[in-house]
Amino acid sequence: GAGVSQSPSNKVTEKGKDVELRCDPISGHTALYWYRQSLGQGLEFLIYFQGNSAPDKSGLPSDRFSAERTGGSVSTLTIQRTQQEDSAVYLCASSLWAGSYNEQFFGPGTRLTVL
């Protein structure tokens, strides 16, 4: 595609429910990143993929958070038993390869609201 796409753009859920957030990276990009942006904060790194592998999951805030990537393309971030503090904008980015020299291209984000 022309850019990184994310769905849904907005998600409102009740506390305790599970949610899935989807990211479609730019075609041909092998690296994919998930970030969380809370109100008034910078971006918080969550996890990245090189291909289908996630070498570092240390940014995931709790074991309620998980992510997978299939076919080296689409990625899904799953939050189980959502809490109000999970409310934030979740951003996905992709780059040709992982590493600082490679520009990360960002999607428009999914705004998650947990009631």
Partner 1 sequence: AQSVTQPDIHITVSEGASLELRCNYSYGATPYLFWYVQSPGQGLQLLLKYFSGDTLVQGIKGFEAEFKRSQSSFNLRKPSVHWSDAAEYFCAVALGDSNYQLIWGAGTKLIIKP
Give the distance between the most distant pair of CA atoms in the chain.
Answer: 40
CB 70, min distance to partner 1, A: 20
Residue of 19, 91, 112, 114 interacting with partner 1 (CB under 8 A): 91
Residue whose C-alpha is closest to residue 4's, from 102, 108, 112: 108
Phi/psi of residue 86, nearest 5 degrees: -80, -10
Residue of 16, 18, 45, 83 interacting with partner 1 (CB under 8 A): 45
- Contacts with partner 1 by CB under 8 A lie at 3-4, 31, 33, 40-45, 48, 56, 59, 91, 93, 98-101, 103-109
